């Protein structure tokens, strides 16, 4: 879990971030200039999307390079400099040397749950058990302060994503594609939970069904259901 992240060449990482930004925007996971994406390019540095820029319209050269240890901007790129929300990303990289990418977005349905202050915990489908058994809720923190990374600290080692109260969602993983796909899964879980409630109520897998999935896929113990940091 703490092995260093497998890394992309910097130029490939730039292209990958631009592509993920385009997908986030096309899927309406970010509006206006919201959201940010980063990728670790070595043990000490990350590439980060620029502030005040639509993630649907970035150029590879727009990305900034930031030092993980102290947040110093090493290269502003041709964009507007790194997002102030990069602190959120740095908190993850500092604690998890195995993490290679972080995706933060405001997907509509997931953000509605975040604003309500409600974690996504229902085990609705086998995929929920295997890929994302819970999306905990990190308590509200004022943007661009150290309280933001502190708010997600309870989940950085145990989970691969969380909701940010009154704000949005964040996902982290060894590689960018995996972190992005987790964001898709979060939004899907939020959307289907809402639809089920409109249909009359959520219907979860029962304990025996969950146990059989855990056994079949060789999963470790599922995270505890305590979901508040």
How far apart, in whole angstroms, are the C-alpha atoms of residue 138 and residue 219? Answer: 25
How far apart, in whole angstroms, are the C-alpha atoms of residue 110 and residue 113? Answer: 5
Shortest Cβ distance from residue 79 to Zn ion (Å)? 17
Shortest Cβ distance from residue 55 to Zn ion (Å)? 11
Residue nearest to Zn ion (CB): 168
Angle (CA) 72-50-182 rounded to 5° is: 100
Site size with Zn ion, rule: CB under 5 A:
1
Cβ-based nearer residue to Zn ion, 53 or 128: 53
Site for Zn ion in 78-117 (CB under 5 A): none
Strand partners, 103: 37, 171
Shortest Cβ distance from residue 214 to Zn ion (Å)? 33
Rg (CA), the chain: 17
Cβ-based nearer residue to Zn ion, 103 or 210: 103
Cβ-based nearer residue to Zn ion, 39 or 102: 102
Cβ-based nearer residue to Zn ion, 85 or 128: 85
Site for Zn ion in 164-223 (CB under 5 A): 168
Shortest Cβ distance from residue 87 to Zn ion (Å)? 11
Shortest Cβ distance from residue 105 to Zn ion (Å)? 8
Q: Which two tokens stand for residue 37?
A: 């994406």
How far apart, in whole angstroms, are the C-alpha atoms of residue 207 and residue 226? Answer: 17
Site for Zn ion in 13-72 (CB under 5 A): none
Shortest Cβ distance from residue 170 to Zn ion (Å)? 8
How far apart, in whole angstroms, are the C-alpha atoms of residue 79 and residue 92? Answer: 24
Cβ-based nearer residue to Zn ion, 107 or 168: 168
The count of C-alpha atoms lying within 13 angstroms of the C-alpha of 162, restricted to the half-sphere facing its C-beta, is 29
Shortest Cβ distance from residue 171 to Zn ion (Å)? 13
Cβ-based nearer residue to Zn ion, 143 or 223: 143
226 three-state secondary structure = coil
Parallel/antiparallel/unpaired status of strands 137-138 and 161-164: parallel
Angle (CA) 33-43-36 rounded to 5° is: 10
Site for Zn ion in 129-168 (CB under 5 A): 168
How far apart, in whole angstroms, are the C-alpha atoms of residue 157 and residue 182? Answer: 16
Cβ-based nearer residue to Zn ion, 82 or 168: 168
Binding site for Zn ion (CB under 5 A): 168
């Amino acid at each position: 879990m703490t092995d260093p992240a497998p890394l992309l060449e910097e130029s490939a990482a730039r292209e990958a971030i631009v592509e993920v930004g385009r997908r986030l925007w096309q899927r309406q996971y970010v509006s206006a200039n919201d959201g940010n994406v980063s990728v670790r390019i070595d043990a000490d540095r990350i590439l980060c999307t620029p502030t005040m820029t639509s993630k649907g319209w970035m150029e590879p050269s727009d990305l900034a390079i930031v030092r993980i240890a102290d947040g110093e901007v090493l290269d502003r790129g041709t964009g507007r400099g790194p997002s102030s929300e990069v602190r959120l990303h740095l908190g993850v990289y500092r604690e998890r040397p195995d993490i290679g990418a972080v995706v933060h977005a405001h997907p509509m349905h997931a953000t509605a749950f975040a604003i309500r202050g409600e974690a996504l915990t229902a085990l609705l489908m086998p995929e929920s058990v295997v890929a994302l058994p819970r999306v905990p809720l990190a308590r509200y923190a004022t943007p661009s302060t150290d309280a933001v990374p502190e708010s997600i600290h309870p989940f950085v080692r145990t989970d691969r994503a969380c909701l940010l109260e009154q704000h949005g969602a964040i996902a982290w993983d060894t590689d960018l594609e995996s972190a992005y796909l987790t964001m898709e899964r979060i939004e899907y879980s939020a959307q289907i939970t809402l639809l089920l409630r409109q249909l009359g109520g959520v219907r979860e897998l029962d304990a025996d069904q969950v146990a059989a999935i855990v056994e079949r896929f060789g999963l470790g113990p599922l995270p505890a259901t305590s979901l508040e940091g």
